[in-house]
């Protein structure tokens, strides 16, 4: 299996053109968070902002608002408890929509996800993570024809694909992914694998310092920002996956656990370093 290296990151990242504005670097909408899991939406949005997305909005439960703005004033906010017709235009305006981090699996979340899946257009990138994956599996929801990225951990993939964790091999994963013909699958685990049709690439970096709640929410935000800036391509997604673990490994030289917030803070520095070394 091909290994993802930092040469992928160097090939994908680009210095920003002088003549540019925030609209050139991706409009990202993160739909997630709840009273129980507000931090997931905050981490995902923070990762998107710190990885360079030009405009980041969060659609979440109102209970998330004050914490979000205290941590991340750069983000805009939509209360997703208000009628969907009042904010569906925000879904349509986004280049990249993330749905699921911290969404929960309540009946409200199920109905919200149904509406999002009906609203999204084929030109948009849709990243499905966390609770949204579990809801789709449980409710057997149909995923529309979009530029689709699935980011399950192994149990979420087991729920979605029906392939038990111990049965998850390259062959069984590829067969199961055929149900989503244009999707890219980021199968998160120790040495994460990234699948798209017949392509498979694997991380050989990252480690147990990352085994803390919010690591995956953070990765989702990085993928969103990279797609918003560099286009939704297989190599862009691999570059985001590598960046997440490379930063954690660097921090792990001196830290027992690498907190998602610290990985997020390091993103602008790592990205500048990669561009200047190209």
Ligand X SMILES: Nc1ncnc2c1ncn2[C@@H]1O[C@H](COP(=O)(O)OP(=O)(O)O)[C@@H](O)[C@H]1O
Stretch that binds ligand X, among 29-37, 58-66, 166-174, 215-223 (CB under 6 A): 215-223
- Residue with CB nearest Mg ion? 216
* Identified binder of ligand X from the candidate list 189, 249, 261, 262, rule CB under 6 A: 189
Stretch that binds ligand X, among 20-28, 79-87, 163-171, 211-219 (CB under 6 A): 211-219
Q: Other CB atoms closer than 10 Å to residue 122's CB: what's the count?
A: 10
As measured in angstroms, the least distance from the Cβ of 52 to ligand X is 19
What, of Mg ion, ligand NPW, ligand X, none, does residue 210 touch, CB below 5 to 8 Å by kind?
ligand X
What, of ligand X, Mg ion, ligand NPW, none, does residue 102 touch, CB below 5 to 8 Å by kind?
ligand NPW
What, of ligand NPW, ligand X, Mg ion, none, does residue 88 touch, CB below 5 to 8 Å by kind?
none
* Identified binder of ligand NPW from the candidate list 53, 68, 103, 224, rule CB under 6 A: 103
* Identified binder of ligand X from the candidate list 28, 45, 55, 210, rule CB under 6 A: 210
* Cβ-based nearer residue to Mg ion, 130 or 228: 130
75: nearest Cα among 28, 16, 125, 127 = 28
Contact between 80 and ligand NPW by CB under 6 A: the answer reads: no
Query: Residues 7, 227, 175, CA angle at the centre, nearest 5°?
Result: 85
As measured in angstroms, the least distance from the Cβ of 145 to ligand X is 25
Contact between 193 and ligand NPW by CB under 6 A: the answer reads: no
- 189 belongs to an annotated ligand binding site: yes
* Cβ-based nearer residue to ligand NPW, 44 or 125: 44
Strands 193-196 and 199-202: antiparallel
Between the two ends of the chain, the Cα-to-Cα distance in Å is 25
64: nearest Cα among 49, 55, 75 = 75
Rg (CA), the chain: 17
Query: CA-CA distance, 277 to 234, in Å (whole number)?
Result: 22
- 192 belongs to an annotated ligand binding site: yes
Residues in 40-79 that interact with ligand NPW by CB under 6 A? 40
- 171 belongs to an annotated ligand binding site: no
* Identified binder of Mg ion from the candidate list 130, 214, 228, 260, rule CB under 5 A: 130
Q: Other CB atoms closer than 10 Å to residue 264's CB: what's the count?
A: 27
Residues in 158-187 that interact with ligand NPW by CB under 6 A? 165
What are the residues binding ligand NPW (CB under 6 A)?
Answer: 37-40, 100-103, 130-131, 134, 153-156, 165, 189, 213-214, 216-217
Binding positions for ligand X, rule: CB under 6 A: 130, 153, 188-190, 192, 206-208, 210-211, 213-217, 219
Binding-site residues for AMP, in ranges, read: 188-192, 216
Binding residues vs Mg ion (CB under 5 A): 130, 216
């Amino acid at each position: 299996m091909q290994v993802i290296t930092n040469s992928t990151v160097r090939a994908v990242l680009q210095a920003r053109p002088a003549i540019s504005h925030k609209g050139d670097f991706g409009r990202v909408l993160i739909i997630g968070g709840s009273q129980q899991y507000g931090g997931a939406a905050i981490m995902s949005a923070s990762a998107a902002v710190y990885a360079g997305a030009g405009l980041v909005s969060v659609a979440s439960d109102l209970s998330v608002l004050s914490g979000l703005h205290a941590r991340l004033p750069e983000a805009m906010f939509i209360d997703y408890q208000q009628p969907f017709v009042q904010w569906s235009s925000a879904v349509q305006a986004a280049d990249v929509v993330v749905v699921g981090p911290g969404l929960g699996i309540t009946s409200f979340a199920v109905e919200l996800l149904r509406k999002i899946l009906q609203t999204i257009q084929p030109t948009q990138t849709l990243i499905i993570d966390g609770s949204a994956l579990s809801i789709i599996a449980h409710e057997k929801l149909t995923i529309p024809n979009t530029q689709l990225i699935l980011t399950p951990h192994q149990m979420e993939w087991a729920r979605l694909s029906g392939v038990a964790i111990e049965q998850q091999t390259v062959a069984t994963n590829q067969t199961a992914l055929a149900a989503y013909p244009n999707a890219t699958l980021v199968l998160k685990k120790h040495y994460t694998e990234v699948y798209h049709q017949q392509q498979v690439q694997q991380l050989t970096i990252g480690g147990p310092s990352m085994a803390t709640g919010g690591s995956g929410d953070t990765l989702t935000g990085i993928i969103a920002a990279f797609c918003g800036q560099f286009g939704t391509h297989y190599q862009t997604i691999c570059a985001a996956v590598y960046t997440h673990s490379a930063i954690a490994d660097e921090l792990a030289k001196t830290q027992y656990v690498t907190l998602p917030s610290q990985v997020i803070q390091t993103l602008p520095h790592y990205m500048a370093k990669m561009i200047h070394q190209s």
